[in-house]
Amino acid sequence: MHPTLRRLDRLAASLAERPGTVAVLGLGSAGAEFERFDEHSDIDFFVITGSASEKAALLEDPSWLEGLGGTVSYSFVNDANGRKALFDDGLFTEYAVFTSEEFHTLPVVGVRVAWSREPDALNFGDLPVPAPAVLDTEEFHLNEALTNLYVGLHRELRGEHLAAFRFIQVHAMDRVLALLRLDPAVHWQRDVFDASRRAESVPGVPFAEMVPGYGKCRAAASATLGWLESRYPVDPVIGEAIRALLERGPAVANGFLEG
């Protein structure tokens, strides 16, 4: 285990002194997959309490967070249940506090118990995992990606470069990642909450060409269309419509229209 991650054990030992706490749980690279933790990782964790009053006390006074070691130099409430915080030595953490009853309604996976007062009371097997989209099919994600490219190129031609960026390099890429998830031949250490995590380990996906950045949407759309056509049955109608937009001239200046 990475030595920095041992700081969560120190925090757990500190919180164990509070009778109202039930458990400290690591998540993400601080969770069951702790071998992924490195110098660029942050510590995500849950504190589980036995009562709403203890939860409220932990949320009201976060000074207990310094049980991780070091001094909190920056923090803010990012959720009704917790905060994000940066320590003076560079450690970044995000945490939430839940009662035992609340915890068992949460969609969490990959939990690691750093400490528990009542280990038998924490049943991870029954926790719900986020459900996929209602239309979670290859056909849906493929055609969503293609229409994202089409709409995005129209935004680009109108001069709406930021809107085009989001359609072509964000929304369409989300659909590409969904297609990779559905492909039985593709395997990578996926994160069920963030499809972009570790996607670079998937061979044969030209991410640098598909997401080249702001102002490069035409090149991005061309690369994404080419990749999709190389792997999936792209309807020629939408394929040709996208290519026709790619062949048009550069974006007009100050030519914005609604729609």
Full DSSP string of 10-56: HHHHHHTTSTTEEEEEEEGGGTTTGGG--TT--EEEEEEESSHHHHH
Q: Which of 200, 246, 240 is nearest to 219 (CA)?
A: 246
By mean pLDDT, which of 3-7, 84-88, 151-155, 248-252 is the weakest? 248-252
Determine what percent of the chain is predicted with pLDDT higher than 70: 86
CA-to-CA dists, residue 112 to 32, 44, 171, angstroms: 5, 11, 32
User: Is CATH 1.10.238 the right assignment for the domain spanning 138-246?
Assistant: no
pLDDT per residue as tens digits for the range 176-216 = 999 998 888 777 766 566 666 777 778 889 999 999 999 99
CB distance 164 to 149 below 8 Å: no
CATH T-level topology, domain 3-126: Beta Polymerase; domain 2 (3.30.460)
Domain boundaries along the sequence of the chain: 3-126, 138-246
pLDDT per residue as tens digits for the range 212-253 = 999 999 999 999 999 999 999 999 989 998 999 999 866 554
Q: Which of 181, 157, 192 is nearest to 27 (CA)?
A: 192
State residue 218 phi and psi, 5-degree precision: -65, -45
Give this prediction's pTM: 0.66
